[in-house]
Chains A and B, each alone.
Chain A
Amino acid sequence: GENVEQHPSTLSVQEGDSAVIKCTYSDSASNYFPWYKQELGKRPQLIIDIRSNVGEKKDQRIAVTLNKTAKHFSLHITETQPEDSAVYFCAAKGDSSYKLIFGSGTRLLVRP
């Protein structure tokens, strides 16, 4: 079955710096890759997603890149702000599988 690995588990950056979180997936048939943000004690919420027919997608300070050959995708946050502090989860879903499999999460801390 699909397996999603996420790194790093924790990330601390200075406000204004960039943050990068990386994920790899095992199922080459995976074609949908969302990223969720979970603030402390809150529900996970979708922040950006990408499908396998594109290599990059950007939404203001957030971007996601996908390398299908290497089976990895990354979340890039530029000009980080304290409110970006949260746990970020990547996920992957294949066309033949209905299951959305999550990574183990990255705890991002943005220091003021």
Chain B
Amino acid sequence: EAGVAQSPRYKIIEKRQSVAFWCNPISGHATLYWYQQILGQGPKLLIQFQNNGVVDDSQLPKDRFSAERLKGVDSTLKIQPAKLEDSAVYLCASSLDSSGRTGELFFGEGSRLTVL
């Protein structure tokens, strides 16, 4: 079974530039998550999709971050303009459970962003 795919794996940009990350979840998984993991910290949920609808985006800095999940499958996370404090690993995860209440999260390898 193919896992969660993410790209790019690494990205270096200057502050105020923009960046986009792509995620392809495991086939058939209804729920998709984007987490931000700053070095030395636990993953922090940015946004959670149930199929192509947003379940929670309370922690997403909406003035600079946006995310979409087209047709309930792939998802993109965009940052514009980037700030120094956005340097982190952006983890995409998916879960089979359609209710989003329980169930194992399968994580991708992550996209490491460095903002200079």
Residues of A near any B CB (own CB < 8 A): 1, 4, 6, 31-32, 34, 36, 42-46, 49, 51, 89, 91, 93, 95, 97-105
Contacts and interface: CB of A to CB of B under 8 A. Distances in A.
Interface of B: 33, 35, 40-45, 48, 50, 55-56, 58, 91, 100-102, 104-105, 107-110
Nearest to B45: A99
B43 A44 contact: yes
B101 A44 contact: no
A45 B91 CA distance: 12
Most A CB within 10 A of own CB, among B33, B41, B42, B109: B42
A45 B107 CA distance: 7
Given A43-B108, A46-B105, A98 B43 contact: no
A93 B102 contact: yes
B109 A98 contact: no
Contacts of A95: 101
Contacts of B55: 98
A101 B45 contact: yes
Contacts of A6: 42
A64 B108 CA distance: 25
Given A98-B48, A98-B56, 5 more contacts: A32-B101, A44-B107, A49-B104, A98-B100, A102-B43
A91 B93 CA distance: 14
B30 to A, nearest CB: 12
A101 B104 CA distance: 13
